[in-house]
Amino acid sequence: MSGPPVRVASVTTRNIAIALHVLRPDAVAAAAEFADEVSGRDGIACWLRPEGVEALAPLVRRPGELRTIASPVSHELELVVVFGGDGTILRAAEWALPAQVPVLGVNLGHVGFLAELEPSQLDELIDRVLARRYRVEERLCLHVELRDSPGGEVVWSSYAINEVSLEKAARERMIEVLVQIDGHPLQRWGTDGVLVSTPTGSTAYAFSAQGPVMWPDLDALLVVPLLAHALFARPLVLSPTSVVSIEMLRGQSTSGVLCCDGRRSVDVAVGSEVVVRRLRQNLRIARLDASPFVERLVRKFQLPVQGWRLDHPIDVGREIQGQKLPPEPGV
């Protein structure tokens, strides 16, 4: 989030940014179709990073209408439409978050929990953006500081939308950490690392580390130890006002690596302290679909809501727990 915001000239009524994975032909094609359909309509101007303009220019009918933006933008930007996976959305958020501009994602990745639409819904996207028929959700984010010692000088800071991870730098050794919550010691762990996640990030790295799935509109923090050698190493759900401190204990030879969303990282020396708290700004996610999160969870993970027990052959008229089972097909 470096660099001062650059204010977009208000030469049109509406300014919409397009972010895309320029190395994916499907993302480039979808973004070009979207730009062709909305640019110039209802006073809309489409803004892209220089590499985005270069990728779309050969494919759109009016390449001269594409506007170039090279820095974070001001609040005059109405929306950022992202074509790619969750990683592309996280990159777009680096300049949408400081300006508090909503992000709307079209999933061209794998699971795509941050994305709102699939490529087959491009026509609906165009219609809804033109008509401004979308709503905005607020997602909690994290602020992280690296201090040279407990309570010492801040030597590095950043933010995270999904999670902050402190992990071992050397494969062959664990790191020794002391975790504190709101200034009170919780536990000392010998571990591969520690995650501090947002509810949005609970379906990302934290999910793979056996953390709980949290509804994204919750205001809460999640702490997940990574393969801790301890009798108590459960994931912890904390208050959104909690402050998490992770101290790299002295007396060990292994350093650590601090990473935010898998994108911004820094080495962590022995004796350093990582402090994580809620970011004052929320990420704004544009939503078109009013379906509850549980439906998205079932769809993205392809959860077996039909069950498997009744798929086996059963006797007609047999009852389970007082409920009469339906007959087998063809009976």
pLDDT 10s digits, 201-242: 999 999 999 999 999 999 999 999 999 998 889 999 999 999
Measured CA to CA, the distance from residue 66 to residue 69 in angstroms comes to 10
How far, in Å, CA of 22 to CA of 36, rounded?
Answer: 17
Task: Kindly tell me if the per-residue pLDDT of 119 is higher than 60.
Answer: yes
Is the domain 142-278 a CATH 2.60.200.30 member? yes
Question: What's the rounded mean pLDDT across residues 149-175?
Answer: 96
Nearest by Cα to 20 from 87, 120, 70:
87
Instruction: List pLDDT tens digits, range 275-323.
Output: 999 999 999 999 987 778 888 788 777 788 766 565 554 444 444 444 4
Residues 6+ apart with CB under 8 A from 98: 1, 5, 72, 281
Any catalytic annotation for residue 86?
yes
Domain boundaries, the chain: 14-139, 142-278
User: Tell me, what's the pLDDT at 88?
Assistant: 92
Residues of the chain above pLDDT 90, percent: 69
Give the closest residue to 85 by CA, choosing from 26, 136, 129, 21: 21
Q: Residues 26, 86, 123, 289: which is the catalytic one?
A: 86
Q: Are 27 and 21 in contact, with CB atoms under 8 Å apart?
A: yes
Q: Are 195 and 223 in contact (CB under 8 A)?
A: yes
Interstrand relation of 273-278 and 319-320 (parallel, antiparallel or unpaired): unpaired
Confidence (pLDDT) at 139: 95
- Output 8 or 140, whichever has higher pLDDT: 140
How would you write 149-190 as a 3-class SS string? CCCCCEEEEEEECCEEEEEECCCCCCEEEEEEECCEEEEEEE
Task: Kindly tell me if the per-residue pLDDT of 28 is higher than 80.
Answer: yes
Which residues partner with 18 through β-bridges?
81
Q: Which residues contact 228 (CB under 8 A, 6 or more apart)?
A: 189, 190, 191, 192
Cα 50-109-258 angle, rounded to 5 deg: 80
Exposed/middle/buried for 280, CB within 10 Å: 0-12, 13-18, 19+? Answer: exposed
CA-CA distance, 299 to 296, in Å (whole number)? 5
Coil/strand/helix, residue 76:
coil
What value does the mean pLDDT take over residues 242-251? 97
**Closest to 257 in 3D by CA, of 192, 200, 160:** 192
| H/E segment holding residue 293 | helix 293-301
Which architecture characterizes domain 14-139 according to CATH? 3-Layer(aba) Sandwich (3.40)
Angle (CA) 245 249 253, round 5°: 135
